[in-house]
Amino acid sequence: MPKQGERAMWAGLGVVSGLGMALAAWLFIAPDVGPPPAIPFQDKIFHAVAFACLTGPGVLVLPRRYLWFWGAHMVALGGGIELVQARGDEGRSGDVLDFAADVVGILVALGVGRWLRARFERT
């Protein structure tokens, strides 16, 4: 049975992850009214970083047998967001390159998360 401090840490990670998902959903679906990009491919970088951050907590806490589920779940989320953007009329449009950036972020999180878990599970 996990200790109280460990339970609090996992609960905190869950809250941060959930709030991150809510923020990402809002940012990806809200009308596009921000300033122009400051660097080339800024939007793609944001997509990759956001999906790495959203995928990472699940990779760290879920049992290994669920990682395919989690990866597929996150890929479906990225694709779903692009479909919603394509169908909306809020100044957004679906972009296959945004989806590709989402997948890159997911793959990075899976790789880094598995590496981190392997290091901590050995100790």
Task: Judge whether 20 lies within some domain.
Answer: no
Average pLDDT for the chain:
86
Task: Judge whether 104 lies within some domain.
Answer: yes
Tally of domains within the chain:
1
The domain in which residue 64 lies consists of 40-122
Task: Judge whether 111 lies within some domain.
Answer: yes
Q: How confident is the model at residue 48 (pLDDT cuts 50, 70, 90)?
A: very high
Task: Judge whether 78 lies within some domain.
Answer: yes
Give the integer Cα–Cα distance in Å for 27 and 88: 14
Task: Judge whether 28 lies within some domain.
Answer: no
Helix, strand, coil percent content, the chain, rounded in steps of 5: 80, 0, 20
Please provide the size of the chain in residues: 123
Give the integer Cα–Cα distance in Å for 28 and 58: 20
Angle between helices 42-61 and 96-122 (to 10 degrees): 40
Within 13 Å and on the Cβ side, how many CA atoms surround 20? 16
Tell me the residue type at 63.
P
Task: Judge whether 23 lies within some domain.
Answer: no
The answer to whether residue 1 scores a pLDDT higher than 60 is no
pTM of the model: 0.80
Query: pLDDT: is 13 or 52 the higher one?
Result: 52
Q: Are 78 and 51 in contact (CB under 8 A)?
A: yes
Task: Judge whether 97 lies within some domain.
Answer: yes
The answer to whether residue 73 scores a pLDDT higher than 90 is yes
Task: Judge whether 50 lies within some domain.
Answer: yes
